[in-house]
Amino acid sequence: MNTVQRVAVVTGAGSGIGRAVALALVGAGWSVALAGRRAEALERTAEAAASPDVLSVRTDVTDPDDVGALFTSVRERFGRLDLLFNNAGTFGPASVPVEDLAYEDWRRVVDVNLTGAFLCAQAAYRQMREQDPRGGRIINNGSVSAHAPRPHSIAYTATKHAMTGLTKSLSLDGRPYRIACGQIDIGNAATEMTGRMTAGTLQANGELAVEPVMAAADVARTVLHMAELPLEANVQFATVLATTMPYVGRG
């Protein structure tokens, strides 16, 4: 068993993919800081983890002060940071045409999915660069929407395409400091956010279709593999999806 303390921050850890990844990391011996807007949901994840090496920090990733307080808490509790799983995100309004999307809804998706990811990555980068031993890893939660959109999903799709640029820039700029950055693009994991998949999802031809889903634990195993590579190796991009979902050939 690896006895070296490894420390991770997981955003959006109160449910879904974030909870599954946090539990997988704890199960593999990691110390994990759980971040998210809902304190009660974070506590449920912490209870499921049943580990003394779990820290819950209520965090709004769109607030620079909240993000700063999160990483300060991690440094004070654990002394270092080895992994950020940048997972917090929102779909925004479902199936709203471009012409009807309110500015406030566009801004909310951009603030959470893109600005929030940047703020957390920036704070992690600063800590990883200065700590001893230097370095760490950032894994961004992209989406298959980073490659192919769904109808009426312009805000979500735009932010997930932008996440790919964020990942590439962090990966390049982190090289001198042993900071690796990769991205996992997920398709149809069974979570609260994807509940509508089993009821019918709008397709490119205008029809509604029930789509297959996969277990969030399958995603978590992939993140764990990416996280536990030595810093000399990196999974730059990985796509994990329900095998028969309409992605290859979508539209």
Residues with catalytic roles: 156
Sheet holding 136-141, edge to edge: 54-58, 31-36, 7-11, 83-86, 136-141, 179-187, 237-241
The enclosing H or E element of 139 equals strand 136-141
Contact 71, 55 (CB under 8 A): no
Q: How far apart are CA 212 and CA 149, in angstroms?
A: 17
Contact 26, 48 (CB under 8 A): no
Exposure string of 40-54, with b = 16+ CB inside 10 Å and e = fewer, is ebbeebbeebebebb
